[in-house]
Structure 1
Amino acid sequence: MVLELAADVGKDDTQTARKPQGAIVGESPVRLWGMTSAERLRRSLVRSGITDVRGWDGFDGGLPQILLRADWVFDEALVRDLAKSPGTILVDSRSGEPVAAHVEPADAAAVASMLGSSRVVPDELRERLRVVGPGELTSTYNNALRKKEPPFLLRLTPEALPRIEQRMFAGSYKGVTDLVTKYVWPWPARHVTKACALLGITPNMVTTLSAVLVGIAFWMFWEGHFLLGLAAAWGMTFLDTVDGKLARVTLTSSKWGNVFDHGIDLVHPPFWYWAWMVGLWSNGYDTLYPDLVFWIVVGGYVLQRVQEGVFLSVFKIEIHIWRRFDSFFRLITARRNPNLLLLTGFAVADRPEWGMVAVALWTLFCFGVHMVQILQALAARRAGPIRSWLAS
């Protein structure tokens, strides 16, 4: 089966008339994250601005064509950049086998035939079209996911499916994040993400459940049931990993989902710290300078977010991706998960009051480190624009 995306009808008929159509060449029985290969490619094309799917019947309609083989798995970035690169044939970098193309209607039939039957690009097509591998079409730097990684292009077979899905899941992970998200959650999160995809559970459903756990953790902390609250809190952080990965591997992320997820992430930590302090006070724990500790933790959280915003506004990159040290420090800086590690360790030792003191001291230290980073960036900018080490 071959699917094709027809051009939108817009106000500017001339511009709309030249908008490329998308065509998926061939078919594959192998399902990726619970969906057919054709459906995944359709979503990739739609997210790249190509809409209205229909079956390919060999009629190009006088419009440019983006042709993609269904028996290959494309990194979403490859589809996006191919849509911006007319006159291009994409080949597998190892075998040289053609797998996709963006061509004018005059070449569409010949290229579609080549993709369906040939292992090489004929010389006659090489003479007038640009032939590139994945690394030539798409940058290895992904700013949204804060990492440097080659785009994947994989032949889709039943035998290779576990390896392909593992690679796709790894590709959905942020490269710069905290140590729990980076080193503890990947293995279980991949299996839960796969189960959610097969069961038809959407990312927003997962985010909703994580929001419920935010409330449960808050109440448990407030009542002084610290270990129960921590169980709910860690469950929330795990689901916070799952919802984003599920959205990326199934290509179902949305503006609302992004606001919903990041809004919860941004708002809830100070409320947890407040509830923890109330739980300490109401259960008779003697905390040294409790009011000072509380305001350092909550105020420090807010001010560190302000520091990140100032850095991004002034230097146009995130503070955690400037230098190698900055990316390393993101693993342990006083954000939710590293702070939860401190709270968990002291709660298990039955000293939850010292857990909050430890968070306060760590918050002060991290605030100082970020101030130094900002001052160093101001000094470095005199020599030229600040660039991420990942982009070099």
Structure 2
Amino acid sequence: MGVAERQTVRVGYINGTSPLRLWGLSPDERLRRSLKRVGADRIAPSLDDGPKSGESAVLLQGDWVFDEALVRKMVERSGVALLADDGTLVAVHGAAEDWPVLLSAIRSGSAEALPPGIERLTAEGLGGSYNNALRKREIPLLSKVDETSVKALEARLFAGSYKGVTDAITKYVWPGPASRVTKFCSVVGITPNQVTLTSLAFVLGAFWAFWTGHFAIGLVMAWIMTFLDTVDGKLARVTLTSTKFGNVFDHGIDLIHPPFWWWAWIVGLGAAYDPNNIALIVIVAGYILQRVEEGIFMRAFGIEMHIWRRFDSRFRLITARRNPNLLILTVALILGEPAMGMTAVAIWTALSFAVHTLQILQGAVASRRGKLVSWLAQ
């Protein structure tokens, strides 16, 4: 049957329901949200509302949890069946004229009942094993939901919401507490945008504290902000509530505030640190230019700088971004040397800029031998 035609109306059908909850959502509600987000033209209220002539039907088992990437692939491709590792039929996309056979097959969970010509794929075969959006190698989640699997599936969904390449604090320190706070938010109905708005308040609070020389208070608020910055994205992904506005709101705050924090810290040092010191220029210019370098790398080579080689991913753990810089300042304040901390941030920013410049040059040389490919995708 091939790839579904763009003009075909793609209708989503869900077979069965489950009373269990994953991050506050039943499996069938997760499917409904996924179908809506990935472009299904219509979601049928029941299996009795069969497709009309010219439409195609996407049928999915309602007591299974699907990675959203799998739902997207199922909606995009007609003539495809998704099988679990044990051979159970969990999803199929076919034409309206095959509806009786498709319905019988999904109800029985048997691929043997499928009409001829349906391609049978596993989760890895359909969705691949590399998630470019989250920069990591991972087979898409596909699992039946029962009382014994809920906790494990929630843990897998949360882990699956994490980017594989990020800074060391986000990757190694925040996951445990962020999981518990994300769970609380999902249960009581706190939205990702509300978490982001709260983090903005801490951005402003940290700026004021740094500006007035209250460095300890400022660092507490700054670290809370970075923690909430982890929670809002994870909450959006596990509850399938991410939006374009939320993405812009969250990333806009992330992009803009760091240089203002470092400027406020220098002002807060007062006579202990000349506000016109070259360190401020190095830090602000270095922050902006590193972002420019990342854009140059992406535009020139079609791949993010931090996922090209294993070294690049490891350097992303410590490169002069917000969290590593905050860690430097925190250590300096504990040692009673807040001014020295800002000097260290300036030096590390300059060194990180030099490393990124070298990465661009190495990318230019390597690209002559062929297209750059992430080590995670190999």
Q: What interval of TM-score do these two structures reach, taking the shorter chain for normalisation?
A: over 0.9
Alignment of 1:128-167 (within 5 A): 128-167=117-156
Instruction: Choose from 352, 361, 364 the match for 2:338.
Output: 352
Match of 1:323 in 2: 309
Match of 2:82 in 1: 90
Match of 2:249 in 1: 260
Deviation digits for residues 300-332 of structure 1 (CA, Å, limit 9, x no counterpart) = 111111111111111111110111100110000
Match of 2:361 in 1: 375
What is the TM-score when the length of structure 2 is the normalising length?
0.95
Please give the secondary structure, in 2, of the residue aligned with 1:339: helix
* Offset, 1:194: 1.1
- Give the residue type in structure 1 aligned to 2:133: A
Deviation digits for residues 339-386 of structure 1 (CA, Å, limit 9, x no counterpart) = 000000011111110110110111111111111101111111111122
Please give the alpha-carbon distance, in whole angstroms, between the structure 2 residues aligned to 1:261 and 1:302.
18
Instruction: Choose from 89, 92, 103 the match for 1:112.
Output: 103
Is the contact made by 2:105 and 2:114 (CA closer than 8 Å) also made in structure 1? no
Flag as ranges the 4+ runs of structure 1 deviating above 4 A. Answer: none
Please give the secondary structure, in 2, of the residue aligned with 1:173: coil
Please give the alpha-carbon distance, in whole angstroms, between the structure 2 residues aligned to 1:261 and 1:104.
40
Is the contact made by 2:64 and 2:142 (CA closer than 8 Å) also made in structure 1? yes
1:70 lines up with 2:56 in the alignment: no
CA RMSD of aligned residues (A): 1.5
1:293 lines up with 2:270 in the alignment: no
1:387 lines up with 2:377 in the alignment: no
Deviation digits for residues 254-313 of structure 1 (CA, Å, limit 9, x no counterpart) = 1111110000000000000010000001xx4257x9611111111111111111111111
Please give the alpha-carbon distance, in whole angstroms, between the structure 1 residues aligned to 2:318 and 2:125.
35
Is the contact made by 2:130 and 2:376 (CA closer than 8 Å) also made in structure 1? yes
Please give the alpha-carbon distance, in whole angstroms, between the structure 2 residues aligned to 1:21 and 1:248.
24
- Give the residue type in structure 2 aligned to 1:320: H
1:305 lines up with 2:297 in the alignment: no
Please give the alpha-carbon distance, in whole angstroms, between the structure 2 residues aligned to 1:193 and 1:112.
37
Please give the alpha-carbon distance, in whole angstroms, between the structure 2 residues aligned to 1:128 and 1:310.
45
* Offset, 1:15: 5.7
Is the contact made by 1:227 and 1:348 (CA closer than 8 Å) also made in structure 2? no
* Offset, 1:91: 0.7
Please give the alpha-carbon distance, in whole angstroms, between the structure 2 residues aligned to 1:91 and 1:58.
24
Please give the alpha-carbon distance, in whole angstroms, between the structure 2 residues aligned to 1:15 and 1:306.
37
Please give the alpha-carbon distance, in whole angstroms, between the structure 2 residues aligned to 1:126 and 1:354.
71
Indicate the percent of aligned positions where both proteins have the same amino acid: 52
Match of 1:202 in 2: 191
Deviation digits for residues 92-144 of structure 1 (CA, Å, limit 9, x no counterpart) = 02x111111101122222222222234x321x526431111111111211111
**361 and 15 in structure 1: CA distance in 2 versus 1, 3 angstrom threshold:** closer
* Offset, 1:181: 0.3
Number of paired residues?
Answer: 372
Is the contact made by 2:65 and 2:143 (CA closer than 8 Å) also made in structure 1? yes
Please give the secondary structure, in 2, of the residue aligned with 1:261: helix
Alignment of 1:178-217 (within 5 A): 178-217=167-206
Instruction: Choose from 21, 28, 39 the match for 1:38.
Output: 28
Please give the secondary structure, in 1, of the residue aligned with 2:362: helix
Match of 1:81 in 2: 73
Please give the secondary structure, in 1, of the residue aligned with 2:163: coil
Is the contact made by 1:147 and 1:176 (CA closer than 8 Å) also made in structure 2? yes
Match of 2:15 in 1: 25
Please give the alpha-carbon distance, in whole angstroms, between the structure 2 residues aligned to 1:265 and 1:226.
20
Please give the alpha-carbon distance, in whole angstroms, between the structure 1 residues aligned to 2:38 and 2:356.
37
Match of 1:121 in 2: 111
Alignment of 1:210-249 (within 5 A): 210-249=199-238
* Offset, 1:34: 1.0
Please give the secondary structure, in 2, of the residue aligned with 1:32: coil
**58 and 259 in structure 1: CA distance in 2 versus 1, 3 angstrom threshold:** closer
Please give the alpha-carbon distance, in whole angstroms, between the structure 2 residues aligned to 1:197 and 1:302.
35
Is the contact made by 1:58 and 1:109 (CA closer than 8 Å) also made in structure 2? no
**Which ranges of structure 1 fall in alignment gaps of 5 or more residues?**
1-13
Please give the alpha-carbon distance, in whole angstroms, between the structure 1 residues aligned to 2:6 and 2:223.
51
Please give the alpha-carbon distance, in whole angstroms, between the structure 2 residues aligned to 1:153 and 1:225.
49
**Structure 1 residues 102-111 or 151-160, which shifts more?**
102-111
1:168 lines up with 2:129 in the alignment: no
- Give the residue type in structure 2 aligned to 1:362: W
Is the contact made by 1:321 and 1:390 (CA closer than 8 Å) also made in structure 2? yes
Is the contact made by 2:213 and 2:265 (CA closer than 8 Å) also made in structure 1? yes
Please give the alpha-carbon distance, in whole angstroms, between the structure 2 residues aligned to 1:81 and 1:52.
16
